[in-house]
Amino acid sequence: MGIEISEIISNEQNTPSVWVMRIKTPPGLKTFKAGQFGNFYLCPEGSDASNVANYIYARPFSFASAPDNEYIEIGYKIAGAFTQKLKTLKPNDKVGVKGPYGVFTFDADKDKDVVMLAAGIGIAPFLSALRYATEKGLANYFTLFYSNKTKDEIIYYKDMEKLKTENPNIKIFYTLTQEDAAGLDHGRINLEYLQASLVRGQFADSIFYICGGHDFIGAMTTMLLAAGVDAKRIKKEDFGKLPDS
C-alpha cells in the first residue's frame, strides 16, 4: 500500500525533549509486528493536506503501541526540521504514513528470554513489545536496561512502571548518566553492570535487542561481542545520528 493519510488523535509532550503522538490506525497498518516502524510524511507549509501527492517530507519512526490497536503511537525526540514541525501539529491535523517496515521484530515463539538495551528514544520499539506481551498475557521474560541522561528524560516512565505492575515477567533497570536519583542506577550500561544484574545462564542464553542512536548501538554491540555473545543472538535497530540521550 502507498502513503495513507491519517488523522492525529493526540500529540503531547512526554519529557523535556520527547513528544508522543497517536494517530488513527490506517487500513494498511492494521497489522504489524512489535518492533516495526513506519515512514511518516509531512506536507510543505500551506499545501493541501488532503492530497496524498503533497506528502513529500519523510522520516522513519518505530511504533511504540502494540499491534492491533485503533491507534498507532510514536514517541519522537525533537531534533531537526521534521520533528520541530511534527510537534506543532494538533488533534485532527493530518500526517502521511506508510509501512510497516523492519526486521527488528519480537518473536514470541523464539525469543523466550529477552534482554533489551535502550538509550533515550530507543525505548519506542521495546515499549511496543512489552505492551503486546502484557496485553496477550505471554510468558516471555523481559529484562530492560534503559539509559537516560536525567530522571526527567526517562521517556514513558509512568507507562513502564504500570506495565511492571501488570506483568511480573518484566524487569527494568533504569540508569542515569548525568544525575544521581534515589532508586535508579548511575552510569553508562557496561559489561560489569549487565553481568551484575542478569542472572547466570540468562547472559549465555538470552536474545539481546539493542535500540538507540548510532553511537549507542556500536558501543553495545562491541561490548556484547567482546563478552562472547554470539552475533546471531544480537538484534539491533539503529536510529542514526540523534541528539545524544
Could you list the residues that contact ligand FAD (CB under 6 A)? 37, 59-62, 74-77, 79-83, 121, 124, 237, 239-243
How, if at all, do strands 113-119 and 207-212 pair?
parallel
Rounded to the nearest angstrom, the gap between the alpha carbon of residue 43 and the centroid of all alpha carbons in its chain is: 25
State the nearest-atom distance from the C-beta of 78 to ligand FAD, in Å: 7
* DSSP bridge partners of 143: 115, 171
Q: Are 97 and 38 in contact (CB under 8 A)?
A: yes
Looking at the Cβ atoms of 11 and 198, the one nearer to ligand FAD is: 11
With H, G, I as helix, E, B as strand and everything else as coil, classify residue 187. coil
Looking at the Cβ atoms of 59 and 233, the one nearer to ligand FAD is: 59
State the nearest-atom distance from the C-beta of 80 to ligand FAD, in Å: 2
Looking at the Cβ atoms of 26 and 213, the one nearer to ligand FAD is: 213
CA separation for the pair 6, 4 (Å, rounded): 6
Looking at the Cβ atoms of 100 and 203, the one nearer to ligand FAD is: 100
Looking at the Cβ atoms of 121 and 198, the one nearer to ligand FAD is: 121
**Which single residue brings its beta carbon nearest to ligand FAD?**
80
**Cis-peptide, bond into residue 100, ω within 30° of zero:** yes
* DSSP bridge partners of 83: none
State the nearest-atom distance from the C-beta of 110 to ligand FAD, in Å: 21
State the nearest-atom distance from the C-beta of 117 to ligand FAD, in Å: 16
State the nearest-atom distance from the C-beta of 198 to ligand FAD, in Å: 26
State the nearest-atom distance from the C-beta of 209 to ligand FAD, in Å: 13
Q: How many CA atoms lie within 13 A of 45 on its CB side?
A: 4
State the nearest-atom distance from the C-beta of 239 to ligand FAD, in Å: 4
Looking at the Cβ atoms of 15 and 62, the one nearer to ligand FAD is: 62
Which of 106-130 are b and which e, b meaning 16 or more Cβ less than 10 Å from the residue's Cβ?
A: bebeebebbbbbbbbbbbbbbbbbb
Residues with Cβ within 8 Å of 11's Cβ and at least 6 positions away in sequence, in order, are 19, 20, 21, 22, 86, 87, 89, 90, 91
Provide Rg for the chain, Cα atoms: 18
Looking at the Cβ atoms of 194 and 217, the one nearer to ligand FAD is: 217
